[in-house]
Chain A
Amino acid sequence: MTMRLIRKNIQYILIPFALGLFLALWQMVVVVNRYPMFILPTPGQVVASWIDNWQNGIIPRHLGLTLCEIGLGFGIALAFAVSVGYLLAKSPLLEKIVSPYIIATQAMPIVAIAPLVIIWINTGAVQNALIAALITFFPMLVNTIVGVRSVRPEYRDLMRSYSASAWQVFAKLELPAALPIFFGGVRVGVTLSVIGVVVVELLWADRGLGFLLNFARGQLDTPLMFATVATLSLMAIGLYLSVVILERILIRWRRNVQ
Chain B
Amino acid sequence: MNNQTLIQIEAVSKQYGPARGGVLALREVSLDIRAGEFLSIIGPSGCGKTTLLKMLGDLLKPSAGYIRVKGKTPADSRRARDCGIVFQTPTLMEWRSIARNIELPLEIVGAPRGERARRALELLDLIRLREFAARYPHELSVGMQQRVAIARALAYQPSILLMDEPFGSLDEMTRERLGQDLLDVWQRARVTIVFVTHSVGEAVRLSDRVAVMSPRPGRIERVIEVDLPRPRPAELRELPRYWELLREVRAALRLNG
Contacts and interface: CB of A to CB of B under 8 A. Distances in A.
Interface of A: 152, 154-155, 157-164, 168, 172-173, 176-177, 179, 251, 253-254, 256-257
B138 A257 contact: yes
A158 B85 contact: yes
Contacts of B59: 157, 160-161
Contacts of A163: 78-79, 81, 108
14 contacts: A152-B91, A157-B54, A157-B57, A157-B59, A157-B85, A157-B87, A158-B87, A158-B91, A159-B108, A161-B59, A162-B105, A162-B108, A176-B95, A254-B94
B91 A154 contact: yes
A177 B136 CA distance: 15
Contacts of B58: 160-161
Nearest to A175: B95
User: 5 smallest A-B Cβ distances: which pairs?
Assistant: A253-B95, A162-B108, A176-B95, A161-B85, A154-B91
Nearest to B88: A154
Interface residues of B, number: 26
Given A161-B83, A163-B79, A163-B81, A253 B108 contact: no
Contacts of A155: 91, 93
Nearest to A176: B95
Nearest to B83: A161
B57 A161 contact: yes
B227 interface: no
B107 interface: yes
Contacts of B84: 161
Contact of B136 (A160, A173, A179, A256): A256
A172 B85 contact: no
A154 B104 contact: no
